[in-house]
Amino acid sequence: MPVKEKRPTSPGTRFQIVDTYEDITKHSPEKSLIVSLKKHAGRGFKGRISMRHRGGGNKRMYRLIDFKRDKDGIKAKVTGIEYDPNRNVRIALVEYDDKEKRYILAPHKLNVGDTIESGSHVEAERGNALPLRNIPIGTVVHNVEMQSGRGGQLARSAGAGMMILGKEGEYGIVRMPSGEQRMIHLDCRATVGQLGNLDAKNIVYGKAGKKRHLGRRPEVRGVAMNPCDHPHGGGEGKSGIGRIHPVSKWGQPSLGYKTRRGKRPSDRFILTRRK
């Protein structure tokens, strides 16, 4: 994905770095694979705000992505690379030999006309999905399952890829993009290759309006508020937070404070933490 720096013809474009969308080959979504997406403005099922600074933004249609890649034994041809407003990675529209169409996450250097396949018997080539036990050690994969048959949950963002470091018994050892190493059952599926759109991390929005288009509302610093509104508020002129450790609006420590309750079942498979 090429990016370009805007000419500074206004304050909003002075430091703006935008996507050129040169890798997009299809500009309208497949109608059979989109559903309406209702906005909730950061509110949970009780109607209360559970995530602040959310609301507004452009309308979106949700693209149904095939994370399971469970259509085995049938080859598919890539018919287009599309933009997806719901994620930072490109998606590829593929058409199987039986004329069924599906969306998949587009790996790096996957082009229109390429053929992909899924199943335990296929070759470990770019875009193919197969169990970890059939993928050679040292291969970079994405869209990796944590439970067999559940669908890919790991390494799904732009430029993401996990390397298979080894296999031991019924588990494979993989290194995640964060540096964390964990064990995953060899029956879990993964798609070969690194995900595309590698320059997504280089985008600079440059102005507040671009964030509003994404549904991000303004955030106010705690030190700019009054003491009745935030623990960091108050003071004459510009002042610090007035305490040793910063806290949230409700007084909960916000740096290094552990908030997880108990250990999740998957924690026992972590060999090396990302820290």
Confidence of residue 113 (pLDDT cuts 50, 70, 90): very high
Q: What is the mean pLDDT of the chain?
A: 93
Across residues 3-11, what is the average pLDDT? 91
- How large is the average pLDDT for residues 90-96? 96
Reduced to 3 states, what is the DSSP secondary structure of residue 257?
A: coil
Whole-number pLDDT of residue 201: 93
Question: What superfamily would CATH give domain 3-201?
Answer: Nucleic acid-binding proteins (2.40.50.140)
Residue that has been written with the tokens 């875009």 in this structure: 127
- pLDDT for 81 equals 95
Burial of 221 (0-12, 13-18, 19+ CB in 10 A): exposed
Tens digits of residue pLDDT in 14-29:
999 999 999 999 999 9
The position carrying tokens 């070759």 is 123
What is the rounded distance in angstroms from the CA atom of residue 153 to the CA atom of residue 146?
A: 7
Helix, strand or coil, per DSSP, at residue 172: strand
Same fold, 3-201 and 225-268: no
**CATH code of domain 225-268:** 4.10.950.10
Q: Break the chain into its structural domains and give their ranges.
A: 3-201, 225-268
C-alpha closest to that of 167 among 187, 186, 192, 180: 186
Q: Find the mean pLDDT for residues 117-133.
A: 93
Examine the pLDDT at 265 and tell me if it is beyond 80: no
Stated as kind and residue range, the H or E segment containing 272 is strand 270-272
Q: Pairing state of beta strands 181-185 and 171-175?
A: antiparallel
**pLDDT band for position 261 (50/70/90)?**
confident
Beta bridge partners of 260: none
User: Does residue 171 surpass a pLDDT of 70?
Assistant: yes
Q: Cα–Cα distance between 155 and 145 in angstroms, integer?
A: 10
Query: So what's the pLDDT on residue 263?
Result: 66
**What is the strand order of the sheet 129-131 is part of?**
129-131, 189-192, 140-142, 162-168, 171-175, 181-185, 270-272
Question: What is the CB neighbour count within 10 angstroms for residue 91?
Answer: 24
Which H or E run includes 208?
Answer: helix 208-213
**pTM as predicted:** 0.88
The helix (run of H) or strand (run of E) holding residue 50 is: none
Report whether 161 contacts 195 (CB < 8 A): yes
Query: Is residue 32's pLDDT more than 90?
Result: yes
